[in-house]
Amino acid sequence: MIILVTGSKGFVCKNLVNRILGRYEVKTNDFNVLNFDECLSNVSKVDVVVHLASKIDASESLKNPKDFIYNNYIGTLNILEAMRINKIRKLIFLSSQGIYGNNINVDEDDISKISVLEPYSLGKLLCENTIQLYSRVYGIKYVIFRPSHLYGFNQNIGIIPLLLNKIITNPDIEIGNNVNRDFLNVEDLIDAVIMTLDMEDNCIFNLGSGTQTTLMQLIEIISKILNKKVNVTINKDLVRNAKSERWHELANTNKIKFLGWYPKHELRTWLN
C-alpha cells in the first residue's frame, strides 16, 4: 500500500510517518494544497491519501475567518479533485469535535447536534460535506475522524506547549475563559488511522479520551509536574465572546470502540 500524507510540517504528520514508515510506502511531498497543479502532480499513484494539511487555531479563525475557511476548504477540494482525476480510491480526513459546538457526547449520526461556533469548525464541516459528495458521485472511499483536542510529541502549537513554556518562564499566568477540553494523545489518533487504512466502508468516527479537563486543572497539573508555583488571573482581552466559545468538549467514542480502538494515553501520566 502506498500512502500520501499531506501537512508534512505538522506534528500529526510527523508522528504518523514515524509509526508507519517501513510498514508502508509513504509519500510526504511538501506541496501547497492551495495550488491545484501541485495537487494534481503529487496526488497520484498512491492508494490512500491521509489529508492532514490544515490551519488549526480555532481562536485565530475568529480574527481571520475568510483565510481559515478558504485555506482549509479549498485545500481539501483540490485534494479531492486531484483524487478524482487520478483515480485515487480512498481519503482519510481529520475533521474536529468542534463541529458539535457545545454539545457533548454526541453520536456521529446525530446531525441535530451539529452547531459550529467558529470559522475553523465551519471549514471542517464544509470539507466533510464535500468529501461525502465526492464519494456519492465519484466513488471515492473515505474515513473521517472527528478528534478532540490533540496533544503529543513534536507539538509546537496548542494550549499544552503554550502553557509549558509560560509556566517555565513566568509564574504569572493570564487566561481567558476556563473552558473544558477532552485531550486526546496523537498516538491514539494514529492507532485509529492505522486501524482504518484497509477499511472499505465509508465511516465517520469520533475520537477522544473520554475525560474533560478544564484550563485551570491543566495549569494545576503542569505546575505540579514542573514544581512551579503560579498566579492565575483573568485577562479581559483574552476572554472570548460567550456566543462563540466552546465551553465543553467530550467525544462519544462508542462507535469506534466496536472496532477495538480505545485511548491508551492519559493526560497527566503522559505529561509526567
Strand partners, 5: 50
Share of the chain above pLDDT 90, in %: 82
pTM: 0.95
Half-sphere exposure of 265 (CA within 13 A, CB side): 20
Q: Tell me: the pLDDT tens digits for 208-222?
A: 999 999 999 999 999
Q: Tell me: the pLDDT tens digits for 256-268?
A: 999 999 999 999 9
CB 121 within 8 A of CB 79: no
Whose CA is closest to 78, among 131, 42, 36? 36
Q: Tell me: the pLDDT tens digits for 89-107?
A: 999 999 999 999 999 999 9
Burial class (CB within 10 angstroms; exposed 0-12, middle 13-18, buried 19+) of 255: middle
Q: What average pLDDT is seen over the chain?
A: 94
pLDDT at 201 > cutoff 90: yes
**Residues 165-173, mean pLDDT to the nearest whole number:** 89
Supply the pLDDT for residue 1.
95
Supply the pLDDT for residue 27.
95
